[in-house]
Structure 1
Amino acid sequence: MIDNLNWTATIVFVFFFALVTVIGFMASHWKAGDLNQLHEWGLGGRRFGPWITWFLLGGDLYTAYTVIAIPALVYAIGAYGFFAVPYTILIYPFLYLTMPRLWAVSRKHGYLTAGDFVFGRYGDKGLELAVALTGILATMPYIALQLVGMEKVIQALGFHGEGYLAHLPLTIAFIILALYTYSSGLRAPAMIAFVKDIMIYIFIIAAVIIIPIQLGGFGVIFDAAGKVYEAKVAADPKLQAGLILTAPQIGPYVTLAIGSAMALFMYPHALTGTLAASSGQAIRRNTMTLPAYSFVLGLIALLGIMAHAAGVKVTNPQDAVPQLLLKVFPDWFAGFSFAAIAIGALVPAAVMSIGAANTFTRNVWKPFVNPQVTSLGESTIAKLVSLIVKVGALAFIFFVPTKFAVDLQLLGGVWMVQIFPAMILGLYTRWYSGPALLVGWAVGMILGTSLSWGAAAWISVHGLAWDIPLIGKFDLGLGFAAYNGFTAVIVNFLVATILSAVWKSKAPDQTQAADYEDEAAAA
C-alpha cells in the first residue's frame, strides 16, 4: 500500500493539509456570528468584503478538478481544451451587470438561494422546486469530481491500495472536511481559500517558468506537442486534435464557452459565494479583478501541452499533470503542488455542500415538509444535509465508475443553464410568468438531456441539423455543431416567451423595482 510512497512529497503534502484543517476549525471564531442562524452558517452573515470575496469566489470556481481536467483535455486533443479560458472571461462583465442586483434584492428580502428569489419574484412553488432540485442534482457529481482530482494526486504520491483501502486517504480527508464545514460553515472555506489560492499561484508561476527552461523554451514545447497531435490524427483520422482549432471544433468551442458562462453562476455554490458579499460594490470590484484567475487558468491549460514535450505517457489523460510535476520538480515541491491541488478540492467541495444544503433547507424542506421550521431548525437541517451531500459524493467514488461521474458533471452544465431565463430575466422584468418559465425549464431539461444521450456515452455537443419527415428529407443544418446546453436554453427561452405572452400569472411579486438597486447603484 505504501511500498512506493514518495515520503518527501508526502510529508510536505500532509503538513499543508494539516495546516488548512486547523484553519478550518478555527474559522468558526472568525467574524463571529450565531452559527445557529442559517444566514450566518451558510452565508457568513453576508459580511465578506471585496478581498475575502475575491479569494472565496476564486477558490470556489477554480477547483482541483479544473487543475486536473483542463490540462487533461488539452493533453488529449489540444486547442479545444482552452474553451474554459474565454468562458471565464465572458462571465465577469455579465456578473458586473447582474449579480449586484441579485445581491440587493436578496439582502432586502432575506433570500439565501436561487429558489428563494424565484419564488419571491414569481410566486410559483413549482418553479422554486424545479430550480432547487436542478441545483442539487447538478452539484452532487461536481463534488464527486473534486474527490477525483484529490485522489489523482494522492495516487501520484505513491499510495495504492486494493478495494476500499484504495480510498482510505480520501475518506479521511473528507471526514475532516465534513467536520469543520459542519462546525464553521462558509467561514471555513473562506479562510482556507486564502491559503489555497496563494499555493496555486506559486505552483503555476513556478511551472510556467521552470518547465519551459528545462524543456528548451515554449517553441520547443509547442513543436513537440504538435508532432504528438499529428501522430494521433494520423493514427485515427476521425480524431479532431491539434494546436489550433479545426473547422468542426469552432461551433462547439464558441457555444460551449457561451453556454458554460451562462451556467456557471446558476450553480448553488457560485451564488452562495456571491450572496455572502458585504455589498453590491464588493461584487463589482471582484468582477473587475477576477479575470486574474482566467489568466492563471490559461497557464494551467498549458500544462497539458508541456506534458507532451516532457515525454509524459499516460493512458488516462487525468494523470498527465501529476506525472508531469513528479518528472520536472524536486520531490518537496511536487508535494507542495499536490497539496495545492488537494486543498483546491476542499474549498469548492465545502462551498458546494453548503450551497446544496442551503437550497434543500430553504426550497425543499421548509416549503414542502415543515413550513413552521424555526431558525435553529433550518440551520440544523442544513448542517445535516451538508454531511449527507458529502457522503453521497464519496459514495460516487466508492461505487460508481469515475467516467459516470464525469458524464454527470458534463450534464450538470446542460441542466444548470436551464434556470438562466427564470433567474436573469427576473432581475429585470416581471413580464414572464412562473408557469411559462416552468414549462420552458422542463422543455430545456428534456431537450438538453436527450441531445446529450449518445450511443455509447454522454456527449456534450450535437450537429445542428434535423430532418422533417412531413416534407421529405429537409435538412435544417446550420453548418456547425453546438453545445447541448446552449441549444436547449435557447428553446427554453423561446417557449417561456411565447407562453408568457398568453399565460399570465396572478401570483404576487414580493419585490419592487427599488429592491434591485444597492447603495452604489442608487448613487
Structure 2
Amino acid sequence: MKHGVNVTALVVFVLFFVAVTVMGFLASRWRRADDAQHLDEWGLGGRSFGTWVTWFLLGGDLYTAYTFIAVPAAVYGAGAAGFFAVPYTIIAYPLVFLFLPRLWSVARVHGYVTPADFVRGRYGSRGLSLAVAVTGILATMPYIALQLVGIQAVLDTLGVGGGANSNWFVKDLPLFLAFAVLAAYTYSSGLRAPALIAFVKDTLVYIVIIVAVIYIPMRLGGYGHIFDTAAQKFNTVNPKTGKPAGSMVTGPNAQWAYATLALGSSLALFMYPHTVTGVLAAKSRNTVRRNMAILPAYSLMLGLLALLGFMAIAAGMGKGVKGYNAQLAVPQLFAGLFPDWFTGVAFAAIGIGALVPAAIMSIAAANLFTRNIYKEFLKPDATPAQETKVAKLSSLLVKVGALAFVLGMDKQFAINLQLLGGLWIMQTFVSIVGGLFTRWFHRWALLAGWAVGMVYGTWKTYGIASPATKHFGGNTAVIPGIGQIGFIGFTAFVLNLIVAVVLTVVLRAAKAPEGADETRREDYSAEAGEAAVDNAPVPAAAH
C-alpha cells in the first residue's frame, strides 16, 4: 500500500480531468443549434442524438461512481448480497423496452421535456405533476452526492483529499472543486457536455476493467486464491454479533431482501429524471429501441466490477483496520497493485465516471424545476430564453443540495445514498408507466398512492440505525404480512399500487371528476418523420 501523494498518478489524473473539462466547455459548439437559448437545446441536446451517442450517453448516465465505488464496496463488506446490482440491470432492459419507446413518442409529439410534463398532459393534474417533479429532484440529489463521494474517495487515495484529522475545509475541498467544475461546464454547454465526455469516460472504464480482471488476479495468485480468501473472511464469525461477516452465497434469510432489492432497483432505474433525459434526447423511436437492446453489454462490465470487492479482500485492503471505509477498497486496490501511471488512468475513469452522470442529473433536475414548478406555478408566460436561464441557475442549486447530502449524511456506505433516491423515485412508477398504457387510474388515487409510498418508505428508512449513523443506516426491513426481510422501497411501491388501485375503483364509482387527457392513442407509437412528430410544438407551448 503506497502512502503520501502519488505524484505520477496525480499528474495523469489531473491531465485527464483537465482534458474532459475543456471538452465540456467546447461541447457548446458541438452541433450548435440556431437558437441555443431554448430548453430543448440546453436540456435535451436538441433531441438529436443517434444510436451511438445515445448509447454512450446512457452508459455514462447509468454506470457511475456508484458502479466503481459502491458496488465493489458492498461486495467487499457483505459478499453475495452486493451482487444484486447485476441481475437488476439484466431485468431492467427488457422491462423498459416495453415502455420507453412509448414515452419517447408521446414526448416528441407534445414537446414534453420531463416525465412530469407527461403526467401533467396525461392526467390533467398539476398536483400529480408537481409530486412527480419534486420526487425527481429529491431523488436526484443523493445520486449526485454519490458521484461527489466517488471523486473524494479517489483524491483521498491519491493523498490530496485531506484526512480524518484535517479541518472541514481541507477535508471537503475535493467536493467543492468537483462542484465548481460541474457547475461551470454544465451551465455553459448543457446536455451536450456530458454526451461528448461520455465517449472518453466509457472508453477509459472499459480499458481499466479489462486490465483489472486480467492483471490483478495475476498479481494475487489467481481467481481460486481470491475466492478462497473472500470465503475465509465471510465465514469468520464476528464476536460482537455472533454471526459471520457475510456470505459467498445468499442465505435463506436474505433471499427476499436480495430479490426485492434487485426487482425494486430495476423498476426505479429508468424512472430517474436523468435516465429519462438521456432517452428523450434520442432523435428517433428506433434509436431508443436499439439502445435497450445493446445497453446490456454494460451489465457484463458491472459483474466484472463487482469482483473487485473480492480482489480487495485478497489484497488485504483494510485488513486489521478498525472502522475501515469500504468505499476506499477499490481505489486503494488500484493504487497498491497498478503501476503509478495506470493508477492515474484508473482514477481518471472513476473521476470522469462521476462527472458525466452528475452533470446529466443536475440538468434533469433543473429541467423538472423549470418546466414543472417555475413555468407551471410561478411564471406561466416564461419565454424559452427565460426557461433556459432558470434551468441553468437551477442546475447550480441542485448541486448545492447534493453537497448538503454529502456533508450531512454518513458516507460509510455510499450505496445507501443511491438506494434512498431509488426508494423515492420508484413511487412515480405507477403514474408514469401506468399512464403510458392506460388512462384507467384516477389522478387523485395516484396522488394518494404516491403519498403513502413516500411517507412509509422514508419513515421506515429513517428509523434504521447503523454503527455510523442513527438514521438512514440501511434499506431493508420486515415486509408486513410476510415476515421476511425485504427492500423497503419495494414494499412502499406495493403499498402505493394497492392504494392507487383501490381508490381508483372508489373514485370511479363515485364519479369523481377526472382531468383532461391531451394525448391520443396514436401519439404513443409515433416515429420521427411522421407529421405528428415533425409538426410537434416546441416545449414552451406544451401547456
Q: TM-score range by the shorter chain?
A: over 0.9
Which residue is 1:483 aligned to?
487
SS at 2:380's partner residue? coil
Of 491-500 and 106-115, deviating more is: 491-500
Q: CA deviation at 1:411?
A: 1.9
Separation in structure 1 between the aligned mates of residue 327 and residue 256 of structure 2, nearest angstrom: 25
Residues 150 and 345 of structure 1 are in contact (CA less than 8 Å); yes or no, is this contact kept in structure 2? yes
Which residue is 2:241 aligned to?
236
For residues 110-509 of structure 1, the aligned pairs below 5 Å read 110-161=111-162, 162-163=166-167, 164-233=169-238, 236-239=241-244, 241-313=246-318, 315-398=324-407, 400-402=409-411, 407-456=416-465, 457-458=471-472, 459-465=474-480, 476=481, 478=482, 480-504=484-508, 505-509=513-517
Q: CA deviation at 1:503?
A: 1.4
CA change 1:520–1:386 in 2 (3 A) is closer
Q: CA deviation at 1:480?
A: 2.4
Q: CA deviation at 1:389?
A: 1.3
Q: CA deviation at 1:246?
A: 1.0
Q: CA deviation at 1:231?
A: 1.6
CA change 1:167–1:453 in 2 (3 A) is closer
Residues 141 and 406 of structure 1 are in contact (CA less than 8 Å); yes or no, is this contact kept in structure 2? no
In structure 2, give the amino acid aligned to 1:508: A
In structure 2, give the amino acid aligned to 1:423: I
Residues 220 and 315 of structure 2 are in contact (CA less than 8 Å); yes or no, is this contact kept in structure 1? yes
Which residue is 1:510 aligned to?
518
Which residue is 2:538 aligned to?
none
Separation in structure 1 between the aligned mates of residue 120 and residue 28 of structure 2, nearest angstrom: 31
Separation in structure 1 between the aligned mates of residue 197 and residue 464 of structure 2, nearest angstrom: 42
Number of equivalenced pairs: 509
Of 505-514 and 226-235, deviating more is: 226-235
Q: CA deviation at 1:520?
A: 8.6
Q: Deviations over 1:144-167 (max 9, x none)?
A: 111000000001101143220223
For residues 3-42 of structure 1, the aligned pairs below 5 Å read 4-33=4-33, 34-42=35-43
Residues 233 and 241 of structure 1 are in contact (CA less than 8 Å); yes or no, is this contact kept in structure 2? no
Residues 150 and 342 of structure 1 are in contact (CA less than 8 Å); yes or no, is this contact kept in structure 2? yes
Residues 236 and 245 of structure 2 are in contact (CA less than 8 Å); yes or no, is this contact kept in structure 1? no
Q: CA deviation at 1:176?
A: 1.9
Residues 266 and 417 of structure 1 are in contact (CA less than 8 Å); yes or no, is this contact kept in structure 2? yes
Separation in structure 1 between the aligned mates of residue 462 and residue 395 of structure 2, nearest angstrom: 30
Residues 396 and 405 of structure 1 are in contact (CA less than 8 Å); yes or no, is this contact kept in structure 2? no
Uncovered stretches (5+) of structure 1, i.e. residues with no partner? 466-475
Residues 123 and 515 of structure 2 are in contact (CA less than 8 Å); yes or no, is this contact kept in structure 1? yes
Of 226-235 and 272-281, deviating more is: 226-235
4+ residue stretches of structure 1 with deviation over 6 A?
none
CA change 1:125–1:21 in 2 (3 A) is same
Q: Deviations over 1:154-188 (max 9, x none)?
A: 01101143220223344223212211111100000
SS at 2:254's partner residue? helix
Residue 80, structure 1, aligned to residue 81, structure 2: yes
Separation in structure 2 between the aligned mates of residue 131 and residue 228 of structure 1, nearest angstrom: 44
Q: Deviations over 1:22-73 (max 9, x none)?
A: 1101101111112210010000011011100100001001111321000001
Q: Deviations over 1:68-110 (max 9, x none)?
A: 0000010001010000000011110011111000000000000
Which residue is 2:536 aligned to?
none
Which residue is 1:473 aligned to?
none
SS at 1:519's partner residue? coil
Separation in structure 2 between the aligned mates of residue 235 and residue 363 of structure 1, nearest angstrom: 50
Of 275-284 and 167-176, deviating more is: 167-176
Q: CA deviation at 1:396?
A: 3.6
SS at 1:482's partner residue? strand
SS at 2:348's partner residue? helix
SS at 1:462's partner residue? strand
Q: CA deviation at 1:409?
A: 3.4
In structure 2, give the amino acid aligned to 1:91: A
Separation in structure 1 between the aligned mates of residue 260 and residue 424 of structure 2, nearest angstrom: 15
Q: CA deviation at 1:319?
A: 0.9
Q: Deviations over 1:250-293 (max 9, x none)?
A: 10000110001111111111111111111111111111111111
Calculate the TM-score normalised by the size of structure 1. Answer: 0.94
Residues 8 and 335 of structure 1 are in contact (CA less than 8 Å); yes or no, is this contact kept in structure 2? yes
Percent of pairs with identical residues: 56
Separation in structure 2 between the aligned mates of residue 485 and residue 443 of structure 1, nearest angstrom: 12
Q: CA deviation at 1:518?
A: 2.9
Which residue is 2:534 aligned to?
none
Of 486-495 and 356-365, deviating more is: 486-495
Separation in structure 2 between the aligned mates of residue 353 and residue 45 of structure 1, nearest angstrom: 17
Of 379-388 and 397-406, deviating more is: 397-406
Uncovered stretches (5+) of structure 2, i.e. residues with no partner? 466-470, 531-543
